[in-house]
Amino acid sequence: MAVSVLFVCMGNICRSPMAEAALRQECESAGLTMVIDSAGTHDWHTGKPPDERAQAVALRNGAPIDHLRARPVSAADFHAFDHIIALDNANLENLAAIQPPDGLATLSLLFDLVEGRAGQDVADPYYDTDSAFDTTWVDVVAGAKAIVAKLS
């Protein structure tokens, strides 16, 4: 059975879809099969595609995300996924607060898997410059590489 990973940020339009794409790309390169998805702790953008700046950086890096649509985390996700990985501490706290008592998913931060970065947040590029999305891409790729190394 394939390992399943859900990435979670606030609105599911920047960091988490980029992390989803980065892990898909790393799994493909490593010949691994994983179930990978993304969601948000808030439902503000439900049904909308990722931010255009996130789409642009992902496409430049060979991992298009224009087909993805934002969705909120659901109680079912805590049963459907092995790992629910937050992109920052605030969303990790939100996930811990809504996790059902019988939820089986392991909660963690993306950077907890990256040497020397445990406990750190992946910076939210939404209110920043376009170049912040490039930085976020580098960060989620580092996380994706660490996930592949740990789970393969």
Give the tens place of pLDDT for each residue, 57-113: 999 999 999 999 999 999 999 999 999 999 999 999 999 999 999 999 999 999 999
Tally helices (H) and strands (E) across the chain.
5, 4
Q: In this prediction, what percent of the chain has a pLDDT beyond 70? A: 100
Is residue 27 annotated as a catalytic residue, yes or no? no
Check: pTM over 0.95? Answer yes or no: yes
Which member of 15, 27, 51, 88 is catalytic? Answer: 15
| pLDDT grade for 124, boundaries at 50, 70 and 90 | very high
- Quickly count: other Cβ atoms within 10 Å of residue 151's Cβ: 16
Could you list the beta-strand ranges (E) of the chain.
3-9, 34-40, 83-86, 106-109
pLDDT at 1: 74
Instruction: State the amino acid at position 32 in one-letter form.
Output: L
Residue 139, pLDDT above cutoff 90:
yes
Is residue 9 annotated as a catalytic residue, yes or no? yes
What phi and psi values does residue 39 have, to the nearest 5 degrees? Answer: -155, 175
Residue 140, pLDDT above cutoff 80:
yes
| pLDDT grade for 131, boundaries at 50, 70 and 90 | very high
Note the Cα 84 to chain centre separation in Å: 9
Cα–Cα distance, 112 to 149 (Å, whole number) = 13
Cα–Cα distance, 30 to 25 (Å, whole number) = 9
Is residue 139 annotated as a catalytic residue, yes or no? no
Tell me the angle at which helices 130-151 and 52-60 cross, rounded to the nearest 10 degrees.
Answer: 60
Residue 152, pLDDT above cutoff 90:
no
| pLDDT grade for 151, boundaries at 50, 70 and 90 | confident
pLDDT at 65: 98
Q: What is the per-residue burial (b if ≥16 Cβ within 10 Å, else e) of 73-110?
A: beeebbebbbbbbbbbeebbebbeeebeeebebebbbb
- Quickly count: other Cβ atoms within 10 Å of residue 31's Cβ: 7
Instruction: Tell me the average pLDDT across 107-135.
Output: 96
Which member of 37, 88, 124, 139 is catalytic? Answer: 124
